[in-house]
Amino acid sequence: MLFNSFVFWLFFAAVLVLYRFLDHRWQNRMLLVASYVFYGYWDYRFLALIALSTVVDYVVALGIADSREPRHKKRLLIVSLVCNLGLLGFFKYFNFFVAQAEHLLALIGLPVSTPILSVVLPVGISFYTFQTMSYTIDVYRGRTTPTRDFLDFALYVSFFPQLVAGPIERSYRLLPQILEPRRVSRDDFAEGTYHVLIGLFKKVVVADNMAPIVNSVFSRPPSELSGTEVLVGLYAFAFQIYGDFSGYSSIAQGTARWLGFKLSWNFRMPYFAVNPSDFWQRWHITLSTWLRDYLYVPLGGNRGTLTITLRNLMITMFLGGLWHGANWTFIVWGLYHGALLVVYRMAAAGSWGGSNLSDCGRAATVLRVILFFHLVCLGWLFFRAESISQVGVLLKVLVVDQHLTDFAVYSAAMILFFAGPLLLLEYWLERSDELLRVVSSHWLVKGFIYCYFLLMIWLFPPLTQQVFIYFQF
């Protein structure tokens, strides 16, 4: 089910009505059934996978908690990691690694013919496997006490608002909300309404209206493109992927809030970041903190020499890029962001004799935001391109041919029309440093913003319904 579909809202209305008439225990049971219906709507065959991850991590977590032998605890944790990463690796990366191995063997004069399986990627598998892995790791570390109620744990794994595209919730944040009775207050309803409206606006109005521009640029032969068209294509994709992904996260927050749950913020005005570290504290926050806590810190983090820190950054971002998909474009995108982190970290450390980059006035901050936004857009070229060769050709066009075309002018106008108001709103939120300022604003201000959202959703729906981009991850 798509959040921007009538089917989902009919489904959610039924869930909401039933939810109001049930006590806490039966609310959880109903939400578990609803979550499996929601996931099974995509493809019922993949319910077995999420059920398998649930059973394995439930049993492993209880075994870790009940064991007094450190070695046994460690072996159980390895079972969980192997099971989850094995499922993820097979469904997401098997064909990719087989193809790369075949290519490598051919280069050294050992041509082989390897099997290519017709494997369908289960929607959201990267999200729920990371969520279940964090549970067993936190139990192993002593940060989470495992629940002995299997059905409540199954709801933690499959909670439908955030199941297929996050946010990736930690057990110590979401599980207590499942185990304890919930009451939906007026504030919950008000905040949920804001999240749903801005999420639908970001997805339906901004992201889906950017999609035709992006698809036109990346599907046309490079010989038919000018550098300005490639540039506006990158701008359009920057707002498409932001509106698409942050829109999903906002709707997930809103629907969960209407059920009495508080999900984590996954985005915080990322295009106002001044450097890569700042960006990853604003973009896909639950993934970046997951990589930090379960990968970067165990590798050593920023303990030790600067060289070790930079190595750890590159490894983390390499695996972060690989998490997004089995394609060299995602790997290079991750390495590109790793390189940005390294360069900015070295500059901040004075490796080139410069002063601390945080010592800037307002004008310098604006310039840094503009510079880093364009560095992010350059990275989006790797993310969106079909292949590394396409990246090279489009980069060449971008640099060599800068003549202005009617399509470039039209596309720029569309970006300003659809994404400009969102940037103005986020600038207001950034200046106030209050993510929910709209909710607490005067009713006239709030009414104007909500009416604008609704009017734009009504007047400018996309010509064709677009699936959320991150469903493929």
Full domain range(s) for residue 218? 188-274+360-472
Show the tokens assigned to 204. Answer: 């339906």
Q: Record the pTM.
A: 0.91
CA distance 414 to 433: 28
pLDDT the model gives residue 92: 82
DSSP labels, 195-206: HHHHHHIIIIII
Last residue of a domain, one of 182, 208, 227: 182
Pick the closest to residue 426 from 233, 201, 169 (CA basis): 201
61 within 8 A of 142, measured Cβ to Cβ: no
User: Is position 322 within any domain?
Assistant: no
Is 259 strand, coil or helix?
coil
Same domain, 133 and 164: yes
Same domain, 174 and 220: no
Same domain, 245 and 391: yes
- Could you read off the pLDDT of 343-358 as tens digits, one per residue? 998 887 664 434 444 4
| Sequence-ordered alpha helix ranges (H) in 325-361 | 328-348
CA-based diameter of the chain, in Å? Answer: 72
38 within 8 A of 124, measured Cβ to Cβ: no
Tell me the torsion sign for CA atoms 341, 234, 206, 463: negative
Same domain, 106 and 24: yes
Same domain, 144 and 24: yes
36 within 8 A of 47, measured Cβ to Cβ: yes
**Active site amino acids:** 324
Same domain, 196 and 177: no
In this structure, the dihedral spanned by the alpha carbons of residues 40, 44, 46 and 49, taken in order and rounded to 10 degrees, is 80
Same domain, 88 and 223: no
Same domain, 205 and 123: no
Last residue of a domain, one of 133, 154, 182: 182
User: Is position 86 within any domain?
Assistant: yes
Pick the closest to residue 159 from 63, 56, 260 (CA basis): 260
- CB-count exposure of residue 7 (10 Å: 0-12, 13-18, 19+): exposed
User: Is position 307 within any domain?
Assistant: no
Query: How far apart, in Å, are the Cα atoms of 37 and each of 31, 44, 239?
Result: 10, 8, 31
- CA triplet 240, 247, 338: central angle to 5 degrees? 60
328 within 8 A of 100, measured Cβ to Cβ: no
CA distance 56 to 87: 12
Place of tokens 């209305």: 13
User: Is position 290 within any domain?
Assistant: no
User: Is position 335 within any domain?
Assistant: no
Same domain, 79 and 103: yes
Contacts (Cβ under 8 Å, ≥6 apart) of 61: 80, 135, 136, 139, 146, 153
pLDDT the model gives residue 358: 45
DSSP labels, 375-424: HHHHHHHHHH-SSHHHHHHHHHHHHH-----HHHHHHHHHHHHHHHHHHH
CA distance 50 to 53: 5
Last residue of a domain, one of 182, 215, 246: 182
pLDDT the model gives residue 262: 96
Residues of the chain with pLDDT under 50: 351-358
83 within 8 A of 143, measured Cβ to Cβ: no
User: Is position 36 within any domain?
Assistant: yes
CB atoms within 10 A of CB 236: 29
CA distance 175 to 250: 20
Show the tokens assigned to 384. Answer: 């969106």
CA distance 302 to 188: 39
Same domain, 177 and 211: no
Same domain, 192 and 170: no
DSSP labels, 73-95: HHHHHHHHHHHHHHHHHHHHHHH
> How many structural domains compose the chain?
2
CA distance 5 to 290: 30
CA distance 96 to 188: 44
Same domain, 178 and 226: no
User: Is position 141 within any domain?
Assistant: yes
User: Is position 106 within any domain?
Assistant: yes
